[in-house]
Structure formats: C-alpha cells, structure tokens
Amino acid sequence: MKIITGNDLRTGDVIWWTGEGWSRHVNDAVEAGDHADAIIARENAKQIVTDTHVVDAEQTADGVRPAHIKERVRALGPTVRLDLSLKPADPDAGNWVI
C-alpha cells in the first residue's frame, strides 16, 4: 500500500494521513490510492504540514508498517530511546522496526 507522511509544521512531529486529517500514529495511516499527489498538494496549501511524501507500506496483523527502515524509525522514534517512542511503557515497542 501507499501511505502519506509529513511533519507537523509547528511542532515537527512525524504525522500520517488518515483519510480525514493527520495522526501521530502510523497505525492510523490509510491507503492513499491514486490520489496521493492531489492530497499532498491540497494539504501543503494549508501550510500546516511540511516535507510531505508518499511511502510504501504494508498492512500487517499488527497494523500499518512502512516498508523502509528509515520510515519505520520515523514512525516509532529513535530505537535507542524507546522511552521517547509513542508507546513508552512497552519494551517491545521497537521490535517491528528492525
């Protein structure tokens, strides 16, 4: 599948396109289908998100997982600071990154 990601302009947070808006959780990302370019153009014009781009991903039993390790690291946070990831209490939070 193809999903859309970017960074929140104000905070820099990594965010994912949910079909209606933006979420910090990659699991909320949806298939962008053939509309990715149009969505990106429209969202960029709102000036609230930056560095928007499309990434390859896969729908797994555990949720949406970007294909490339760089995007998986973006989705989780630094693998060496799991305390700063989105699920800070979960020691296995990083298992799907590598």
Partner 1 sequence: MYQYDSYDQAMVDARVAEFRDQVERRLAGDITEDQFKPLRLKNGLYLQLHAYMLRVAVPYGTLNSTQMRMLGDIADKYDRGYGHFTTRQNIQYNWIKLSDAPDILADLASVEMHAIQTSGNCIRNTTSDQFAGAAADELVDPRPYAELLRQWSTFHPEFDYLPRKFKIAMIGSETDRAAMKLHDIGIQLVRNDAGEIGCKFYVGGGMGRTPMIAPVIGDFVPPLQMISYLEACLRVYNRYGRRDNKYKARIKILVHEIGADEYRRQVEEEFAHILTLNLEPPPAELERIKGFFEQPGFEAGLSDDLDLSDPDFALWVDQNTHAHKQAGYTIVTISLKPAGGIPGDATADQIRLMADLAKEHSFDELRVTHAQNIVLPHVKKADLYALWQKLDEAGLATANLDLISDIIACPGLDYCALANARSIPVAQKISARFADLGRQRELGELKLKISGCINACGHHHAGHIGILGVDRKGVENYQLLLGGSEGADTSLASITGPGFSEDGIVDAVEKATDVYLAQRADGERFVDTFRRIGMAPFKEAIYAKEPVNG
Using CB atoms within 10 Å of the CB of residue 73, give its burial: 0 to 12 exposed, 13 to 18 middle, 19+ buried.
middle
Q: How far apart are the first and last CA of the chain?
A: 19
Q: Which of 11, 61, 91, 92 binds partner 1 (CB under 8 A)?
A: 11
1 vs 73, beta carbon nearer partner 1: 73
19 binds partner 1 (CB under 8 A): no
19 vs 69, beta carbon nearer partner 1: 69
47 binds partner 1 (CB under 8 A): yes
Using CB atoms within 10 Å of the CB of residue 61, give its burial: 0 to 12 exposed, 13 to 18 middle, 19+ buried.
exposed
**Binding-site ranges for partner 1 (CB under 8 A):** 7, 9-14, 44, 46-47, 50-51, 67-70, 73-74, 77-81, 84, 98
